[in-house]
Amino acid sequence: MTVAFTACISEQDRVNIGHLQTIVFDLVKTNVGNAYKGTSGIFIAPVSGVYDFHLSAMVTVDHVIYLNIIKNGVTFDVMVAEGHGRVTTVTEFWTIELQTNDLVWIQSDTTWVDGHITALHGWCNSVFSGFLIGV
């Protein structure tokens, strides 16, 4: 079985992102197997196996975002993008073993923002993707 998706944030900027908010990558470019839900931002594993996930997040000048990759409601890892005086792009890769119907999504974590505006730059500069490596 082939499972692969790529989705991005379509609008120019998504600002004032709330605490523990699911980040919806609304413009779905590829969705082989229809496992990524572009309306909710959630990936649902259609088959048990090992998956690779990739997140590239861009923040504009003086914006910041802390992002978590979530597996079944539990933080798997954390990613930080801080645009102190410049545009910044941060990229992470994760290899995660999933069972059928496990859920994976990206979620904001504004606990450590310290008064900065939480924002992600869109126009497909912030991208979430994943694919099945093997069963």
Minimum mean pLDDT range among 31-35, 40-44, 47-51, 111-115 = 111-115
| CATH code assigned at 109 | 2.60.120.40
Query: pTM for the full model?
Result: 0.92
**Distance (Å, whole) CA 19 – CA 16:** 9
pLDDT digits (tens, 9 = 90+) for 68-100: 999 999 999 999 887 777 888 899 999 999 999
Asked if 17 contacts 108 with a C-beta cutoff of 8 angstroms, the reply is yes
Domain region containing 54: 4-134
Asked if 59 contacts 86 with a C-beta cutoff of 8 angstroms, the reply is no
Q: Please check the confidence at residue 119 and state whether its pLDDT lies above 80.
A: no
Greater pLDDT, 83 or 105: 105
Q: Residue 116's pLDDT is what?
A: 63
Give me the sign of the Cα torsion angle 98, 3, 121, 84. Answer: positive
- Per DSSP, which regions of 18-126 are E strands? 27-32, 36-37, 42-44, 49-59, 63-71, 74-82, 88-98, 103-108, 117-121
Q: State mean pLDDT over 27-56.
A: 98
Q: Looking at the 3D structure of the chain, how many domains does it have?
A: 1
